[in-house]
Amino acid sequence: MKSIAKPVVIFALLILSLAAVGQGLKKDISVHDPVMIKQDSVYYIFCTGNGIAVWSSVDMLNWKREKPVFAEAPKWAVDTIAGFKGYIWAPDVSYHNGQYYLYYSVSVFGKNTSAIGVATNKTLHPDSPGFKWVDHGLVIRSHPGKTNWNAIDPNLITDDKGTPYLAFGSFWDGIKMVKLDADRLTFAEDIAGISTIASRKKDASSGAANAIEAPFIFKKSGYFYLFASVDYCCKGPESNYKMIVGRAKNIKGPYTDKQGIALIKGGGSLVLQPDSNWYGAGHNAVVSFNGNDYLVFHGYDAHDNGRPKLRILKLTWKKGWPEVFN
């Protein structure tokens, strides 16, 4: 029976694989800064790309490229960021009160000439009659020489009372957090005094490059876990991107690592680092499906010239801290 069953299983897998290819599905997809959400039985990935790149899947293995969120560059972004032509960075997706909220970044590489916008949709299914992205434009922006922070890499999180906050930031003064109004479209506090919640600098006077970005906050078991990416992305084989984490009882912090070192003072427990197969790994999201937690991120493939690719790993927890096996 075993000798018969094995070829049957292999043949069935082959048929499924050929069917996937026939439907235009891909397993080894190239993405940057991915975030994932599920509607009904379909998983959706939103990531950096022209108009915001979108992929869909029914199994988190085989992916179909969908049309981008924006067919044309948002006018407010063109008017706000000099030279912007539609390439949008680091989206973040969430669901609230019957709508999907998609925050996104527009920026000049290497500068804090940046802005975060938001669009909403009642459904993520492209074939649904109600499918339509409505852009609400600017949420917050940063200015060279005026703000010592960078309005990029947004992540929406709510506290225990449901109050929305937006974490964001890349380099400069590190990871910031701002309170939003109930509509989630505008900020609800004076941005001149918004707090830093994570930094690579051990003290404010340090002149070292503050290589931290891509915050993602995940609530679990009474804690807020702040994930962030440190060191350098986007350099192919020269990338040394890695992930760190800290946790806090209060959404505003202070976030501390396993040793009790505050993330605002350069702390952060290592989650994932480069190895022989991946030059770097970072800009992650954390999602929960069917009782399991997953780490969603991009890695630079050491066997494919450092090309950025989608990676999804199961996340486990040990003594209140996340663990992942690469």
Q: Show which residues are catalytic.
A: 33, 213
Tell the residue number behind the tokens 């952060």, with chain if given.
268
Rounded CA gap, 284 and 21, in Å? Answer: 28
Q: What is the pLDDT of residues 266-306, one digit of tens each?
A: 999 999 999 999 999 999 999 999 999 999 999 999 999 99
Query: What's the sign of the alpha-carbon dihedral 297, 32, 130, 167?
Result: positive
Q: What phi, psi does 53 have (nearest 5°)?
A: -75, 145
The per-residue pLDDT for 89 is 96
Name all contacts of 144-151 with Cβ < 8 Å and 24+ positions apart: 144/111, 144/112, 144/113, 147/112, 147/191, 148/172, 148/173, 149/112, 149/173, 149/174, 149/176, 149/194, 149/196, 150/107, 150/112, 150/114, 150/213, 151/105, 151/107, 151/112, 151/114, 151/115, 151/116
Residue range 103-112: average pLDDT?
93
pLDDT at 257: 98
**Per-residue confidence band for 1, with pLDDT thresholds at 50, 70 and 90:** very low
CB 33 within 8 A of CB 298: yes
Instruction: List the beta bridge partners of residue 129.
Output: none
Which residue carries 């590190």 as its tokens? 174
List, for residues 173-214, the tens digit of each pLDDT value.
999 999 999 999 999 988 887 889 999 987 655 556 899 999
Q: Give me the pLDDT at residue 12, please.
A: 44
Cα distance between residue 312 and residue 294, in whole Å? 6
Query: According to the model, what pLDDT value does residue 4 have?
Result: 46
Q: What is the pTM of this model?
A: 0.91
The mean-pLDDT minimum among 1-10, 73-82, 165-174, 292-301 falls in 1-10
325: confidence class by pLDDT, cuts 50, 70, 90: confident
What would the two tokens of residue 95 be?
A: 């669901």
